């Protein structure tokens, strides 16, 4: 028939009483579709696989977020270069009228030694630093430069503190007027994150390390106890102390939870780095070829990529478009299934189907008209109309 009437929606018609249907997720196929379309089993498997992938991605996302809170680091060598330049020195340039006064500039810079790059090659300081690596000043919490007080009585002490100048710098410069050579004393206080401590000689003898963070020191003690099987057989919460550990703790048996408290007396602020540089005002400029290597902890460069990955994970426009397309196809499948059930029920038992349809439509009409509570049998009797209002 060309003029086929579309069946009413919500029309899985059976004479049975209506029950509240549980809402099916838009991307899931109804159970009744599986009997009609055997291929739907593959789609169901894909949905299950997608849910597992989503769960795995969610776990990885949480792991990345936790890793970014305390980013892992790798130990690298920071090479510190100390030199000075000079200008308008009377010894090198004849005195001219109205010329600039003689001066000198002290420079302290540093570079992280990278694999495959020779830091001693000419022009290494002129190269642009790696933007993925921390800047030089971020490795120090305080830099103190002491000049000769006899030559500079008013400002012989220059102090830089990271707390007062949080913006990172590639180096430090001190420029002064002067024509006398002298020795500069430089003190560098390292900025460790997490905070590191210098171990006492007794604890250094046990662990073989001189400077480390508190969590790693506790982990090293745990490995020491485990390697030497010093666990207490009577109480797993305690461990026995061999002679080197007895020098540290002063006891024959120690509770694991007390280790962090007991090692505090063996931890001290790390020693600052002391450097000296001779300010020379003759010869070739710059003056000074001394460099110093310091071990520092550098965050993995992948941290920036992880941050970008998290940002991109929130942008699911393509995935959302695919999900919307899938949901549209699923809605069409469910609509066609209802149409099929409608006509299949009519073809199998036309009379019973029409009766069930009329009964269903009558109930719907009564509900729409607000007549669901009316009883036709009671309305046929006169007593119904004699009831009080």
Q: Which helix (H) or strand (E) holds 103?
A: strand 103-112
Neighbours of 18 (CB within 10 A): 9
User: What is the rounded end-to-end Cα distance, in angstroms, of the chain?
Assistant: 53
Contact 240, 230 (CB under 8 A): yes
115 and 228 in a single domain? The answer is no
101 and 177 in a single domain? The answer is yes
Report the side by side order of strands in the sheet with 171-177: 171-177, 103-112, 73-87, 291-299
Here the CATH number for the domain that contains residue 243 is 1.10.245.10
Upstream peptide bond of 293 is cis (omega within 30 degrees of 0): no
How far is the C-alpha of 381 from the C-alpha of 321, rounded, in Å?
62
Inside any domain, residue 54: no
Q: What is the pLDDT along the chain (389 residues), one digit of tens a residue?
A: 444 444 444 444 444 444 444 444 567 776 767 667 777 778 888 888 888 888 888 888 787 777 666 667 788 899 999 999 988 887 655 556 557 888 999 999 998 887 655 555 545 555 677 777 888 999 999 999 999 999 999 889 999 999 888 888 889 999 999 989 999 999 999 998 888 999 999 999 999 999 998 999 999 999 999 998 998 888 888 999 999 999 999 999 999 999 999 999 999 999 999 999 999 988 887 888 788 999 888 877 676 677 777 777 666 777 888 888 888 888 888 888 888 888 888 888 888 888 888 888 888 787 777 654 556 666 667 776 676 66
Contact 104, 85 (CB under 8 A): yes
225 and 140 in a single domain? The answer is no
How far is the C-alpha of 134 from the C-alpha of 359, rounded, in Å?
78
203: its two tokens: 């604890």
Inside any domain, residue 88: yes
162 and 108 in a single domain? The answer is yes
- Predicted confidence (pLDDT) per residue in 11-58, tens digit: 444 444 444 444 445 677 767 676 677 777 788 888 888 888 888 888
DSSP 295: E
Residues with Cβ within 8 Å of 156's Cβ and at least 6 positions away in sequence, in order, are 146, 147, 148, 149
How far is the C-alpha of 144 from the C-alpha of 174, rounded, in Å?
11
Inside any domain, residue 136: yes
How far is the C-alpha of 325 from the C-alpha of 323, rounded, in Å?
5
98 and 227 in a single domain? The answer is no
128 and 243 in a single domain? The answer is no
Neighbours of 203 (CB within 10 A): 26
209: its two tokens: 């390390």
107 and 230 in a single domain? The answer is no
Contact 342, 37 (CB under 8 A): no
Percentage of residues in the chain having pLDDT higher than 90: 32
How far is the C-alpha of 94 from the C-alpha of 98, rounded, in Å?
12
How far is the C-alpha of 242 from the C-alpha of 247, rounded, in Å?
9
200 and 79 in a single domain? The answer is no
DSSP 127: S
**35-44 long-range CB contacts below 8 Å, 24 or more apart?**
36/337, 36/340, 37/333
Inside any domain, residue 327: no
Instruction: Write out the residue range of the structural domain in which residue 208 sits.
Output: 196-268
Contact 138, 168 (CB under 8 A): yes
Here the CATH number for the domain that contains residue 113 is 2.60.40
Count up the domains in the chain and report the number.
2
179 and 143 in a single domain? The answer is yes
125 and 224 in a single domain? The answer is no
Inside any domain, residue 106: yes
Beta bridge partners of 109: 81, 171
DSSP 271: P
Q: Which helix (H) or strand (E) holds 108?
A: strand 103-112
Inside any domain, residue 389: no
118 and 85 in a single domain? The answer is yes
Inside any domain, residue 37: no
224 and 251 in a single domain? The answer is yes
Inside any domain, residue 66: no
């Amino acid at each position: 028939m060309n003029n086929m009437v579309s069946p009413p929606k919500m029309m899985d018609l059976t004479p049975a009483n209506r029950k509240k249907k549980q809402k099916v997720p838009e991307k899931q196929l109804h159970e009744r579709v599986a009997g009609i379309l055997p291929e739907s089993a593959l789609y169901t498997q894909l949905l299950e696989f997608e849910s597992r992938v989503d769960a795995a991605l969610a776990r990885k996302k949480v792991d990345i977020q936790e890793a970014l809170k305390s980013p892992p680091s790798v130990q690298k060598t920071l090479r510190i270069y100390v030199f000075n330049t000079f200008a308008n020195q009377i010894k090198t340039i004849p005195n001219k009228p109205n010329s600039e006064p003689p001066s000198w500039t002290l420079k302290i810079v540093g570079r992280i030694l990278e694999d495959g790059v020779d830091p001693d090659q000419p022009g290494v300081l002129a190269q642009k630093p790696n933007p993925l690596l921390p800047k030089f000043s971020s490795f120090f919490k305080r830099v103190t430069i002491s000049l000769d007080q006899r030559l500079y009585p008013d400002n012989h002490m220059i102090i830089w503190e990271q707390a007062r100048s949080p913006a990172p710098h590639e180096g430090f410069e001190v420029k002064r007027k002067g024509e006398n050579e002298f020795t500069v004393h430089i003190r560098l206080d390292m900025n460790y994150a997490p905070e590191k401590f210098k171990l006492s000689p007794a604890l250094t003898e046990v662990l073989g390390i001189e400077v480390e963070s508190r969590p790693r020191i506790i982990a090293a003690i745990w490995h020491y106890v485990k390697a030497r099987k010093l666990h207490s057989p009577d109480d797993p919460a305690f461990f026995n102390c061999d002679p080197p550990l007895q020098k540290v703790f002063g006891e024959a048996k120690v509770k694991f939870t007390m280790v962090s408290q007991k090692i505090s007396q063996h931890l001290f602020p790390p020693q600052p780095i002391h450097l000296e540089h001779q300010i020379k005002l003759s010869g070739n400029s710059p003056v000074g070829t001394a460099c110093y290597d310091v071990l520092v902890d550098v965050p993995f460069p992948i941290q920036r990529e992880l941050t970008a990955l998290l940002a991109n994970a929130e942008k699911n426009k393509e995935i959302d478009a695919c999900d919307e397309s899938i949901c549209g196809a699923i809605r069409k499948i469910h609509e066609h299934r209802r149409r099929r059930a409608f006509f299949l029920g009519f073809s199998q038992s036309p009379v019973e189907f029409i009766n069930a349809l009329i009964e269903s439509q009558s109930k719907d009409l009564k509900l729409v008209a607000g007549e669901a509570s009316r009883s036709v049998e009671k309305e046929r009797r006169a007593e119904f109309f004699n009831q009080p209002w």
